[in-house]
Amino acid sequence: MRTFLVVLLATSLAASPALSDPRPVGLGPSLATDEAGLWEESSKAERAAQQSADFNNDPELTAYVGGVTCKVATPYCDDIRVYVMDRPVLNAQMAPNGYSEVWTGLMLRSTSEAELAFVLGHEAVHFIENHSIEAWRAQKTRANVMLAISAGVAIAGVAAMANAPTIDVAQSIQDLTNAVIDGVYLAYVASFFAFSRANEAEADRLAFDRLVAAGYNPQAASVMWRNQIAEAAASDFPRVRVRGARASIFNTHPIDAERAATLEALAAKTGKTGELGRERYRAAIRPHLAGWLKADLGRRDYGQTLHIIDRLAATGDDIGVLEFFRGETYRRRRKDGDQDKALAAYLAASTAPDAPVAVWRELGDMQVKTGATADARFSYEKYLAMVPDAQDRWIVEASLKKLTGTSGT
Ligand SMILES: [Zn+2]
């Protein structure tokens, strides 16, 4: 009865369910409520995501992420749609209508399924607990904001993104290139729903419970935040290092270290163990690893890319791909000693069965630079033998021709 009265009161005031309760499973908003308006705008953003060139619609990856989502979002599995977006920044977001984005920068930085599951659980809780509606109702000028959202979704929201304060997990939004920013609709919509610190804390706490209930290792919840702090410290850019030390660039979010410590305390208290799903996770991202590392290099923060590679290489998997990209990172960075480091990394990659064939070409170029012409010849010939119809065959043949007659080591 009491519940009924509360619901009735809330309905008469705000024409929506009581927000202290989780939302009902499988239910959209009532018509003619403010929530219905939010869903409509979110649906526009969702359609834009579906049509975006960044949308990674690889069926296996989509099925994998959907499966992990279901494990931690139960019984709301059918109410939540997670889109993987090819964007090299750590970010995950939830729209009011259950449409969610996980960016590949986050997936590249996760080392286990349990880490991803925690993030997906966190986003699911924002939806289940009606956080965007709560944030919406806290807005002072809602009518104008709705107009702005509407216009922003219709155009692009590029300018607005530059100071969007409420990307859910983004740590380095300032590092986004214009190409990435263009058409990031959900971020634009989300910029109007600054989740309160209380909501963020609740999302972490309830996501933690969901992680444990799904049988995952509770220790995994804090790993991403600890890694983020370490990665910020490894940045080439002083402003990123300072920001990392200080924590999140947005005051709306709990400080990373504080967040990590809270989750570590929760893990210690449960005393439970569970699975990390490390191998399963790596198997799921393996086909995308090279593409995501290449995209990460596009951010031009080589210290951070090396940090990511170190973390991925710690398990001893995918050494051919990882050492190749380590070589690529040093080759592009060009600091003192980087040439030798690139050469060493390419060599390490070349002995691994999963090395990209391009390693032989890069190795050849590097060996030319260091005067190891006989080795360079061997590498170039190996490359041409492995990729007979390479598009750059003529370039490699020209390089080989130049080497002819020169004495090598
Ligand atoms: Zn959040």
CA of 246 to the centre of ligand 1 (A): 19
If residue 94 lies in a helix (H) or strand (E), which one and from where to where?
strand 92-94
CA of 225 to the centre of ligand 1 (A): 13
CA of 70 to the centre of ligand 1 (A): 18
Q: For residues 348 and 319, is the Cβ–Cβ distance under 8 A?
A: yes
CA of 204 to the centre of ligand 1 (A): 8
CA of 143 to the centre of ligand 1 (A): 24
- Tokens for 127, please give them: 């939806």
Give the gyration radius of the chain's Cα atoms. 24
- Tokens for 17, please give them: 């369910």
Rounded CA-CA distance 346/328 in Å is 8
Q: So what's the pLDDT on residue 35?
A: 81
pLDDT tens per residue, range 122-160: 999 999 998 877 777 776 666 666 666 665 554 433 333
Rounded CA-CA distance 292/310 in Å is 15
CA of 195 to the centre of ligand 1 (A): 7
Domain ranges for the chain, please list them: 18-270, 288-403
CATH superfamily, with its number, for domain 288-403 = Tetratricopeptide repeat domain (1.25.40.10)
Rounded CA-CA distance 137/20 in Å is 14
pLDDT tens for the chain, 409 residues: list them.
Answer: 333 222 322 333 344 445 678 998 988 887 777 788 888 888 888 998 898 888 999 999 999 999 999 999 999 999 999 999 998 888 888 888 999 999 999 999 999 999 999 999 999 999 999 887 777 777 666 666 666 666 555 443 333 333 332 334 344 444 444 444 445 556 666 655 567 778 888 999 999 999 999 999 999 999 988 898 899 889 998 877 876 655 443 444 456 788 889 999 999 999 889 999 999 999 999 999 999 999 999 989 999 999 999 999 999 999 999 999 999 999 999 999 999 999 999 999 999 999 999 999 999 999 999 899 999 999 999 999 999 999 999 999 999 999 986 554 4
Task: Give one DSSP letter per residue of 111-163, joined into a string.
Answer: -SHHHHHHHHHHHHHHHHTTHHHHHHHH-S-HHHHHHHHHHHHHS--HHHHTT
CA of 402 to the centre of ligand 1 (A): 57
CA of 73 to the centre of ligand 1 (A): 15
Q: So what's the pLDDT on residue 193?
A: 58
Q: So what's the pLDDT on residue 135?
A: 75
Q: For residues 307 and 230, is the Cβ–Cβ distance under 8 A?
A: yes
Quickly list H helices, 272-353: 278-285, 289-297, 302-313, 319-333, 338-350
CA of 200 to the centre of ligand 1 (A): 5
CA of 111 to the centre of ligand 1 (A): 20
